[in-house]
A and B are shown apart, each in its own frame.
Chain A
Amino acid sequence: MDPSRKRAIRLTVALTAALLLASALVYTSFAAGRDELTASQLLARARPGQTYILAGTVLDGSVHWDGNVLMFRVRDPKLDVSVPVRYTGVVPDPFAPGRGVLVDVREGGPSGFIGEANTLTTKCPSKYQAASGSY
């Protein structure tokens, strides 16, 4: 076979494979993705039976244990709104009031939201801080 034709075939095969991979990636991402919601967004959009990813900061003074259930409130980063969460499962070591968290939740009636077991992740409490500007 003519070498240039061989090259054209190889290039076509490679581009087709790349296109298929990219399409699968894009489709899977949009199909399988779930919205990360703040506390205010969750209060506005939550429907019974659906699971959402709640993102926010643990409200100071809101953390306590009820037996084996961890109770805490997650604060909205921009608005003065927080939602209560009842969570069972592994609590990451960095978890503490004032730390950023992500947790899968569903509506739990009057008591607030129920955290799905073992879905709680916490931002690392590094000492990286914004520059103070004083030298």
Chain B
Amino acid sequence: MATAGRLLLILALIGAVYGLCASLYGARSGAREWVDSGRRAMYSVALIAVVAFVILDVAFITSDFSYDIVASGSSTTTPLAYRAAAVWSTQQGSLLLWVMLMSLWASLALFVTRRRVREIVPYAQATMFAFTIFFAGLCVLFANPFATNDAHLTEGAGLDPLLRHVTMLMHPPMVYSGYTLLLVPFSFGVGALLANRVGAEWLQVTRRFALAAWLCLGIGIMLGARWSYTELGWGGYWAWDPVENAALMPWLCATAFIHSMMIQEKRGMLKVWNASLVLATGCLAIVGTFLVRSGILSSIHAFVSDPTLNVSFVSLISVMVIGSIALVVFRRDSLRTEARLDSLLSREAVFLFQNLVLVALAAVIFWITFFPLISEAITGTEVSVGPPAFRPFVVPLALIVVLLSGIGPIIAWRRVTAARLRRNFAFPVAVGTTTLVVLAVATDATAHLLAWVMFGCAAFAIATVGQELARGTRARAAMTGAAAPVALLGLVRRNRRRYGGYIVHLGFALAMIGVAASTSFQHQRYAFLRPGQSAQVDGYTVRYVRPTVSATAQRLSFGAVLDVTRGGRHVTTMQTSYGLYPAQDPMHPIGRFFNGSQESEVALDSGPLRDIWAVIHPNVTPLQGLIARGDQLVSRLLLQVSSLPASQQPAELNLAYALRDQLIRVLAQRFVTHPWASQFLFEVSPLVMWLWVGAIVAALGGLIALPPLRPVRRRAGAARRLASAVDAQDLAAGGKAPQPAGLVSPERELV
């Protein structure tokens, strides 16, 4: 089946090349059948990629170690779910996942648009084929996932224990879905510019894909943050690591694009901005993919560098950047705006300002992330600026974003009067101000001024969402006579885009509360404790009750039971452990069980007001002497067994391994019977739960905003009735005549 998989990959590449040529030929000649054939070629490539992926995944699930990447990335002792997911822990498998997702999302986009934007689709199609060709080409030429060996292995190297976490099952597919979905609006943007059809229609057909990309990438980022918090043993969820930033930058630009596209749809403004933004976002998606596997920047996540892939990616990014700039410059006349900003007191102005801030955020993160390379290019030395460099810029910009997320919903399009503004702002400003005052008086929040201001801004944003939902529900209830909960559901259902967006803002504000509190008011404490000893952290007393140990052939675990009290009252009992996985080191049959990969099992007591977090970092130095003696003993025994007749060896080997396992258990048990001091890291983080709650709420809002609008034909009929109800003479008179009677009201269509 490996050969079949490789053949399918080659066929996918051939199909993509055909699709590219057919699309371009159809575009230039106007022969629609070639464009349709190209679209179907994308469907075929998607099918082929799925089959190839399934073949590879089955190899992982069945532990077929004749595949090189199965042997290096999985083992028979890896749990089933992780075996299935291990395919994307490898370079080759992750590239195949990219091809599959790219072709699937492209197929969906082309299916949805098969009767629309007909002049744009061929070029968009060709662009998506170009990406498919690139990644399929990498798989075929440089990173073959179906490479095999003749070693007849019965066991593999295993999946890295750090990746054996439930969030890691979905983190890469979500991030890759985000990246590949971002290439759909990118491709349609390229198509619109090439076809010189730069009106709002290309935005309308790609809006859902931009929103889906934003949603998937956001979920992927949060899954990664959760993994960091609960698995990596350093106590944080965000380290401003280059690989983390690589996903954040396109997400920020996608957030800006989702807002700015509304302005072009409604007012015909910001055409240059939207075209540039969507092209930049697509470029950043590829940059993100490149960063993770390039090794060009020091990162705890960055993986082994492959020069061949680096050259390919840099070439692709260069073509994308130069091509994007050239397209926008070439079409600058067509991109001229149709309207102007009426007033700074308008939703357009707020969206525009928000866009500028989000792009500024992305630019700051880009500069600081790539600064080591920039400095090396300028000064010859790689200079690191570290995570603290982000704070002076990111925090104020984030404050502005939160503030604007509260202002946007309560300000109308085009223009709003000062009096109306005062009326709409009164309640949210009161809530925000009250929050600041209460926190200043009742807590020590002002010790961290920026965090205190963030709490106020977030309270303001939450209040605006509440106000909007309340007013909309009241209006609908008044019209329909429904009870409030029913009216609320109806309101959201009939205005998904608007209220889905408001719910996203609510989630974002909640998340920022969690971030501000947990970063500014966190208490951390390192301590070396023996059983019975205690440490103090933020008013909590953490007592090391007793050590724990477990020993199997796959994993050793040294842990601790911790008892947490506050003011003499019991708060919680937690358990943390430190896992050791055996290394492949035949010279040390005992020692390899103590010197292999490690991973922490975090003890976490999570609550709405605070998280208590603890890890243990035991070192096995006190056992080194005994381990060395054990190595000698077992090595001698294995040598003796190897000199026996072949018929006797299996039984004697089993005995030798049983002795080895017994020795390991006895050694590990000394952690309990003769415990020594272990290093602990304790952490109390206030309100961090709201980061995760906010992320879930924001994702829910994104899902609500995602489904398609109601069928446009119904709205078209209503629009005609609306428009035709205005008297032509009324228009000729400059709109001075009173509103005609019998005007069809859109109320029932709206609320």
Contact = CB atoms under 8 A, between A and B. Distances in A.
Contact of A122 (B300, B340, B619): B300
Interface stretch (A79-87, A93-101, A107-115): A93-101
B142 A33 contact: no
Nearest to B72: A127
Contacts of A122: 300
Contact of B233 (A92, A127, A135): A92
Contact of B90 (A10, A70, A128, A135): A128
B300 A94 contact: yes
A92 B232 contact: yes
Contacts of A124: 160, 162, 299-303
Given A121-B300, A131-B143, A126 B160 contact: yes
B306 interface: yes
Contacts of B389: 28-29, 32-33
Nearest to A124: B301
A49 interface: no
A65 B678 CA distance: 12
A92 B234 contact: yes
A135 B300 contact: no
B393 interface: yes
Interface string A23-35: 0111011101111
Contacts of B69: 127
Given A14-B356, A29-B389, A134-B147, A92 B298 contact: no
A43 interface: no
Nearest to A96: B597
Given A18-B360, A93-B162, A128-B90, A34 B304 contact: no
Contact of A90 (B92, B299, B384, B681): B681
B360 A21 contact: yes
A66 B231 CA distance: 27
B409 interface: no
Q: Which of A24, A34, A68, A127 has the most CB of B within 10 A?
A: A127
Contacts of B375: 29-30, 33
Contacts of A18: 360
A91 B678 CA distance: 12
B598 A68 contact: no
Contact of B385 (A3, A29, A135): A29
Nearest to A7: B340
Contacts of B600: 93
B413 interface: no
A64 B621 contact: yes
A123 interface: yes
B613 to A, nearest CB: 13
Contacts of B293: 128
B381 interface: yes
- What secondary structure prevails in chain B residues at the interface with A? mixed
A36 B384 contact: yes
Given A29-B389, A92-B300, A102-B298, A128 B368 contact: no
A10 B348 CA distance: 14
A127 B90 contact: yes
A50 interface: no
Interface of B: 6, 68-69, 72-73, 89-92, 94, 142-144, 146-147, 157, 159-160, 162, 231-234, 293, 298-304, 306-308, 340-341, 344, 356, 360, 364, 367-368, 371-372, 375, 381-386, 388-389, 392-393, 526, 528, 595-600, 617, 619, 621, 624, 677, 679, 681
A126 B384 CA distance: 23
A129 B157 CA distance: 14
B68 A132 contact: yes
A131 B144 contact: yes
Given A34-B383, A93-B599, 14 more contacts: A28-B393, A29-B383, A29-B389, A33-B385, A35-B382, A92-B232, A92-B233, A94-B598, A102-B298, A102-B384, A123-B302, A127-B69, A127-B157, A128-B90
Contacts of B385: 28-29, 32-34
B306 A130 contact: yes
A130 to B, nearest CB: 5
Contacts of B392: 24, 28
B298 A123 contact: yes
13 contacts: A29-B371, A33-B375, A35-B382, A36-B372, A68-B677, A92-B232, A118-B526, A121-B300, A123-B303, A124-B160, A127-B73, A129-B91, A130-B307
A33 B304 contact: no
A29 B368 contact: yes
B233 A90 contact: yes
Contacts of A96: 595-598
A67 to B, nearest CB: 8
B6 A135 contact: yes
A10 B624 CA distance: 70
A58 interface: no
Contacts of B528: 68
Interface in A10-60: 10, 14, 18, 21, 24-26, 28-30, 32-36, 53, 55
A135 B372 CA distance: 37
A118 to B, nearest CB: 8
A25 B364 contact: yes
A103 B16 CA distance: 46
Nearest to B583: A96
Contacts of B599: 93
B623 to A, nearest CB: 11
A89 B233 CA distance: 12
A80 B73 CA distance: 30
Q: Which of A7, A10, A67, A124 has the most CB of B within 10 A?
A: A124
A34 B379 CA distance: 12
Contacts of B94: 128
Ranked nearest first, the 7 interchain pairs of A and B with the lowest CB-CB distance are: A33-B383, A65-B621, A128-B303, A126-B303, A128-B91, A127-B73, A36-B382
